[in-house]
Amino acid sequence: GAVVSQHPSWVICKSGTSVKIECRSLDFQATTMFWYRQFPKQSLMLMATSNEGSKATYEQGVEKDKFLINHASLTLSTLTVTSAHPEDSSFYICSARAGETEAFFGQGTRLTVV
Amino acid sequence: GQNIDQPTEMTATEGAIVQINCTYQTSGFNGLFWYQQHAGEAPTFLSYNVLDGLEEKGRFSSFLSRSKGYSYLLLKELQMKDSASYLCAVIDSNYQLIWGAGTKLIIKP
C-alpha cells in the first residue's frame, strides 16, 4: 500500500510552547489529509480535513486557532499545536488519500506536554 | 520487524456471520483497534481490546489473545451496508500505531 510518514513519532514539550507535527505522503499525491486525535481507550476523533491549497475544515469543538493545519503541497500537511497545555497530551494521527481512494495512515505522534 | 497480517478480501452473504482475523508481531503491545472504513470516507472506530477475551457490541464482537498475537472481528447478521474495509491496528510499546493493510469485505445478497 501507499506510504504515509508522520514525524516525530514521540515528542515532549513544555507547557506554553508550540509543537509541529508533519505528515508526508511518500509515493503518492495526497489531495486530502485528515488529522485525528486519540485518547487512551477511546475512539479515533477526527479533528480536521484539509485539501491541498485550501483552508482546513475543522470538526465541531476543535479550536482552529489552537490546532493550526497547513496543507501547502500535495505531499505535506502539518499540524501545529500552539501554546500546548497538559490536556493536549494525546496521540495524533494523520491519514492521506489521493482523490476518492482509501486513506492511508501515518504511524502517529505521541505528544506529552509537561 | 513489526507486522500485522489480515486477509486482503473476504466475501460473505447478507444475514450470515463473518470472522476477520488479524495476527500481529510488534515490539510491545498497548492495545488493538478495529476500524471500519467505507470507500472515500474517514475510518470509524469499532472496538478496542487491551485484555484477553471477547468484547461484544451489538452485531460486532472483537476477540483478543495477547499470548498468540491474535485478534478477530466477528460480524453477525450481515447487512449490505457492512460492505467496507476493516482495519486492524496495534499500539506498540512506543505508542506508535501499526496498521494492517485492511480487509475488504464484500457482502452479497
Contact (CB, 8 A) for A87 and A67: no
Instruction: Name the residue of chain A whose CA is nearest to B41's CA.
Output: A102
Is the confidence at residue A1, as pLDDT, over 80? no
Residue A100 pairs in a beta bridge with: none
Percent with pLDDT over 90 in chain B = 60
- Min CA distance, A103 vs chain B (Å)? 7
Q: Write out pLDDT tens, residues A17-26.
A: 999 999 999 9
- Is residue A2 very low, low, confident or very high in pLDDT (cuts 50, 70, 90)? low
CA atoms within 13 A on the CB side of B55: 16
Instruction: Name the residue of chain B whose CA is nearest to A35's CA.
Output: B42
Biggest alpha carbon distance in chain A?
39
Which residue in B18, B16, B3, B29 sits closest to B86, CA to CA? B18
Whether chain A has a CB inside 8 Å of the CB on B1: the answer is no
- Is residue A9 very low, low, confident or very high in pLDDT (cuts 50, 70, 90)? confident
Is the confidence at residue A68, as pLDDT, over 70? yes
- Is residue A41 very low, low, confident or very high in pLDDT (cuts 50, 70, 90)? low
Contact (CB, 8 A) for B32 and B64: yes
The helix (run of H) or strand (run of E) holding residue A24 is: strand A19-25
Is the confidence at residue B94, as pLDDT, over 80? no
- CB contacts < 8 Å between A and B, how many? 52
Confidence (pLDDT) at A102: 66
Record the cell numbers describing residue B34, joined without a space.
478495529
Which residues in chain B touch residue A107, judged by CB atoms under 8 angstroms apart?
96-98
Whether chain A has a CB inside 8 Å of the CB on B86: the answer is no
Contact A102 B48 (CB under 8 A): no
